[in-house]
Amino acid sequence: TGGGNNSHVFFLMEYDVQPGMQRDTENGRPFKRYKSTDYTLNTIFADRTNDSRYKNTYVDFFKSNKPGTYNTSFDKSKATVTFAAGDTTIWLPGYNMPASERAKYPYQVLTPELYTERLFPSLKKHLDPGRADRTQFAGGRDYIAMRLADTYLLLAEAQFRQGKIDLATANINKVRRRAAFPGKEAEMEITPSELTFEFITEERARELIGEQTRWLDLKRWGILVERVKMYNPQGAPNIQAFHNLRPIPQNQIDRAEGEASGFPQNPGY
C-alpha cells in the first residue's frame, strides 16, 4: 500500500476526453506529463519493420468505452464519429497521411503532425489495469529496478570503451534478437563496424524508455545539457550546467548536523 508505484499515470495521453472515450482502469489515469520527443519517435524508433519495440512500447489504438455519436476533436477530416462499445475510436499509425486518407476511416486518426503535449503515443509498459478504480494514484505493479537487458547493455558499453568491439557487439545483439519481430532476428543483428557510441545511446533509449534511466545515462556520459538543447524544445531554454546535479531535499539538509553549513545544497538551487 502506501504510495505504491505511480509510474502508470505520467506517460499517458489525454484519451479520456476524446469522442467515444472516458477514463477507465485499463487505459489509465492520464497525467500527460511525459511525451516522447520527436527525436525519440523518429530516430530512436525509426525501424518499425524488424524491431518490435515501437509496437510493444506505445499504445496505437483505443476502443470505445462510451458509445455514441460525437463531433470530432482533433481529426477534422470528418465532422462526426459514431461508436458502439468496443469500436476503435482512435488509431495512431505512427506516420502522417493526408486528410483525404484519414477521412476514409470511421474513427479519428492521430498522426504525428497532430501530436501535442496532450495528444501523443502513450507509453504502455507502466499501465496498471489492476488498480481498484480509475482514480487510484498508487499502483500495485513492481517498480523496475534492474532488467537483464540493462545488464547486457551496460556490459556492452563497458566492453566498447575497452575496445572489445566484437564482445560488445555480441552482447548488443542478444538484446536486439530478443526485440525482433518473429523471423526478423537476423535483420536485427548489427556488425562490429556498426557499433558506435551513438548507437549505444540509442539502443539504451529503445530498450529502457520510461524506466527512469535516461537522465542518469546522459549525466554520466557528460552530454545531458547538450542533448536536452538538441532534442527537447521545451527543456532547451531552461537547462543549465548545474542541472547535472539534482537538488538535495531540504528536510535532508535540516536533519544533518550543522544543517546547511554541514550539508550544503548543491550549487544553483
Q: How far apart are CA 153 and CA 162, in angstroms?
A: 14
Q: Cell digits for 153?
A: 547493455
Per-residue pLDDT for 4 more than 80? yes
The stretch 216-235 carries a mean pLDDT of 97
Write down the mean pLDDT value for the chain.
96
Higher-confidence position of 145 and 42: 42
Q: How far apart are CA 48 and CA 58, in angstroms?
A: 12
pLDDT at 261: 85
Give the N- to C-terminal CA distance of the chain in Å, as an integer.
Answer: 33
The one-letter amino acid at 91: W
The stretch 155-161 carries a mean pLDDT of 98
128 Cβ partners below 8 Å, 6+ apart?
Answer: 5, 8, 25, 28, 139, 140, 141
Q: How far apart are CA 63 and CA 83, in angstroms?
A: 9
The stretch 14-26 carries a mean pLDDT of 98
pLDDT at 260: 79
Give residue-wise pLDDT tens across range 162-200: 999 999 999 999 999 999 999 999 999 999 999 999 999
Whole-Å CA distances, 181 to 107, 176, 200, 228: 28, 10, 21, 31
Q: How far apart are CA 159 and CA 215, in angstroms?
A: 22
Find where cell 558499453 sits.
Answer: 157
Give the model's confidence band at 123: pLDDT under 50 very low, under 70 low, under 90 confident, else very high.
very high
Per-residue pLDDT for 1 more than 70? no
Give the residue among 146, 204, 144 at the shortest CA–CA distance from 171: 204
Give the residue among 18, 113, 9, 2 at the shortest CA–CA distance from 62: 18
Per-residue pLDDT for 3 more than 90? no
The stretch 60-67 carries a mean pLDDT of 98
pTM: 0.93
Give the model's confidence band at 145: pLDDT under 50 very low, under 70 low, under 90 confident, else very high.
confident
H helices within the chain, ranges in order?
A: 38-39, 53-57, 99-102, 148-161, 165-179, 185-188, 197-208, 214-221, 224-231, 250-255, 259-262
Whole-Å CA distances, 205 to 36, 46, 85, 138, 249: 11, 12, 36, 26, 28
The stretch 40-53 carries a mean pLDDT of 98
Calculate helix-pair angle for 214-221, 224-231, nearest 10 degrees. 120
